[in-house]
Amino acid sequence: MTLDRRAFVQGSLATGLALGAAACVPLDQSSAGRLAANLRIIEAHAGGTLGVEFFDTASGMSIGHNRDARFGHCSSFKTSLAAMLLQYRERNGDLVREVELRAEDVLGHSPFVAVRVGQSASLFELAQATQRLSDNAAANILLRELGGPEAMTAFWRSIGDDVSRLDRIEPHLNHVPPGEVRDTTTPRAMARTLARLVYGDVLRERDRSLLRHWMIDTSTGARRVRAGLPQDWQAGDKTGTSIWPDMGSLYVDIGFVEPAGRAPITFAAYFRTAERTDGIDPQAEAVLARVGEVLTRFAA
């Protein structure tokens, strides 16, 4: 555990992060140490590799585990992609330009694009489907329209994230065995990137609000970190999952929580199973739900 104030200050200066919510009373070293120990215990009981970062957007305080280890984005990169598209609107006008949707664009899990083949969709519609529905075809089309994976990496660099990178498109970006650096980030980097996107000045207020609401309306994380939070807390997220024979399975959940009466907290959580799971494993998702329980105590 570290009280990572220097990184917060640097990131705030880079993005103009300014939050009006009430700050919490900082954790003492003993309490923070116990919460970090809780994360290590979760990892030990789960039998895989857990990476976590909680970031207090007001104080800059953070705790985590394996916070500088690299993990694959899986579909979680789509929140940043949607944000990049919203920034594109600010610089290039409305997102009404339409793109033809072709049969060759469709791949696994493309619920929006698959039913619109032969028609067209606006860039705005594609961004919404990318975040809320995790539509893989929509994400690939947006990447193609905005300059490819290299443009996604350049966007992260432009907002002060010098760690996260995207190198491939769906579905190949999901193949990230241990030791791979392509298409990866770290919990520390991504928790701060989310703070800049949702609460900083990377986007105008209307687009920050829109991205936040898209994340709240994203239902795929209901059994992950959000399952461990109090039901009355406002929260939004983006998940990702990768199941490949030579890398075990990777379960991802990144997002924010807004407890009443205190500043928001962003989080980034990654769990790599020791062995490949058969489809979505409820026990693996439960590991991230237990991370949510620790996050609840961090926010108390």
**Segments of the chain scoring below 50 in pLDDT:** 1-24
Share of the chain residues as helix, strand and coil, in percent rounded to the nearest 5: 45, 15, 40
Is 76 known to be catalytic? no
Residue 171, preceding peptide bond in cis (omega within 30° of 0): yes
Asked whether the beta carbons of 49 and 39 are under 8 A apart, the reply is: no
| Tokens describing residue 13 | 């200066």
* Residue among 75, 164, 242, 249 flagged as catalytic: 75
Phi/psi at 292 (5° precision): -60, -35
Give pLDDT, residue 12: 39
Give pLDDT, residue 97: 84
Asked whether the beta carbons of 117 and 292 are under 8 A apart, the reply is: no
For the stretch 274-294, pLDDT in tens is 998 888 999 999 999 999 999
Give pLDDT, residue 26: 60
Give pLDDT, residue 5: 36
Asked whether the beta carbons of 51 and 269 are under 8 A apart, the reply is: yes
How many residues can be counted in the chain? Answer: 300
Q: Which residue has the tokens 């949702």?
A: 198
Give pLDDT, residue 299: 93
Asked whether the beta carbons of 73 and 183 are under 8 A apart, the reply is: yes
Give pLDDT, residue 88: 87
Give pLDDT, residue 30: 80
Asked whether the beta carbons of 66 and 138 are under 8 A apart, the reply is: no
Phi/psi at 276 (5° precision): -60, 135
Considering the entire predicted model, what is its pTM?
0.91
CA-to-CA distance for 59 and 201, rounded, in angstroms? 17
CA-to-CA distance for 179 and 234, rounded, in angstroms? 35
